Structure 1
C-alpha cells in the first residue's frame, strides 16, 4: 500500500500524484522550454502514464487557491536504485522556490523510505539548480543515442542530517 503524503507551504500543496494528473504532467514535460532546440527530441513523445504514477513515488505541487488544482511542478522518486528520475516546474513558475520545495519534499520522502542518498542524472541546463540545493557532482553519464544525444552530469544528494543541514 502506498502512503498519500500531503504538505503545504505558502499556498502550494504537495500531494501524491494520481491517475487524473497524468495528462497535466505529460504536458508539463513536453512543453518545458528547457527541452527546446537540440533537446526537443528527448521529450517529444514522452508520456507520464497512470502505470508510472502507480509504480513510482510521484508528487505534484499544486496551487491551493486554484479550483482546477493547477499543477505547478512535480517530481518522481525511484527507490531501487535510489534516483530522482524526474523534476519539472512549469516554465512561468520557475524562480519562485517551487523546485526547492519539491526537492525538500523529495528528501523527506527518501529519508522516510530509509535512503541515505539519491542519485540525480541532470539535464545539462539544470545542473546549477541541483548544485544549489546541495547535490554534489559524482561523474558524467555518457550520451545514449538516439534517446539522449548528449552527456549528462551525474550528481548525488546526500540525505544524512549533517549534509542536509549544509545544503540549506
Structure 2
C-alpha cells in the first residue's frame, strides 16, 4: 500500500535502502551533542528491513528517488521503533504522512495500539500527531544515558 501527499510518496523499504536509511539515522542533527552516542554505530540492515514493516517517504519528483524519511513498525510487541525525517525537509508534513501511514499499517495488522519510546526532543511532535503519554522509559547506558518519554498511539479499528 502506498500513500501520496503533495510530491511525497510512501513505499515499502527494500534491502537496497539500508545504507541510505543508516546514513539518515547517523546524520540526523537531532542526535548531535549529548545524543550522538545513541546513533554513532547504528545500522539499519537489510535483515532489519526484511523482518519489520519499514516504509520510506520519497520525493516523487526526484528521479533518484531521494529518501525524505522513514519509519519502522515492529508488530510484536507493537512499537514504532524508528521514525526519521531528513534534515532540511522537516516541517513539510513528511513526519505526519509517515505516522498516518504507520497507523494504517497497524490497523491492517489488527493492532489496537502502538508504543513509542521517543527521543526527548521529538516528544512534542509525537503528541501533535496523536500519541498519548504513558510514562518514562529509563536510561539504558552506555548508548542511552537519559530517560525517554514513552507514548502510545491508539489504533481504532474501522467499523466493518
Scaled to the shorter chain, the TM-score interval is over 0.9
Match of 1:64 in 2: 60
Q: In the alignment, does 2:7 pair up with 1:11? A: yes
> RMSD of aligned C-alpha atoms?
1.0
Q: CA deviation at 1:161?
A: 5.7
Query: 1: distance between equivalents of 2:78 and 2:90?
Result: 25
Q: After TM superposition, what 4+ stretches of structure 1 lie above 2 angstroms from structure 2? A: none
Structure in which a larger fraction of residues adopt helix: 1
Q: In the alignment, does 2:135 pair up with 1:139? A: yes
Report matched runs for 1:1-168 at 5 Å: 5-160=1-156
Query: 2: distance between equivalents of 1:131 and 1:149?
Result: 23
Instruction: Classify the secondary structure of the residue corresponding to 1:66.
Output: coil
> Where in structure 1 are there 5+ consecutive unaligned residues?
163-168
Q: CA deviation at 1:9?
A: 1.8
Query: 1: distance between equivalents of 2:55 and 2:154?
Result: 20
State TM-score, norm by structure 1: 0.92
Residues 44-69 of structure 1 show CA distances to partners (whole Å, capped at 9, x for unaligned) of 00010000000000000000111100
Residues 108-129 of structure 1 show CA distances to partners (whole Å, capped at 9, x for unaligned) of 0000000011000000000000
Query: 2: distance between equivalents of 1:153 and 1:145?
Result: 16
Query: 1: distance between equivalents of 2:7 and 2:132?
Result: 30
Question: Is the 2:107–2:157 contact (alpha carbons within 8 Å) kept by the matching residues of 1?
Answer: no
Greater RCO between the two (CA within 8 Å, min separation 6)? 2
Question: Is the 2:112–2:157 contact (alpha carbons within 8 Å) kept by the matching residues of 1?
Answer: no
Residues 100-159 of structure 1 show CA distances to partners (whole Å, capped at 9, x for unaligned) of 000000000000000011000000000000000011110000001002100000001001
> Where in structure 2 are there 5+ consecutive unaligned residues?
none
Query: 1: distance between equivalents of 2:3 and 2:121?
Result: 28
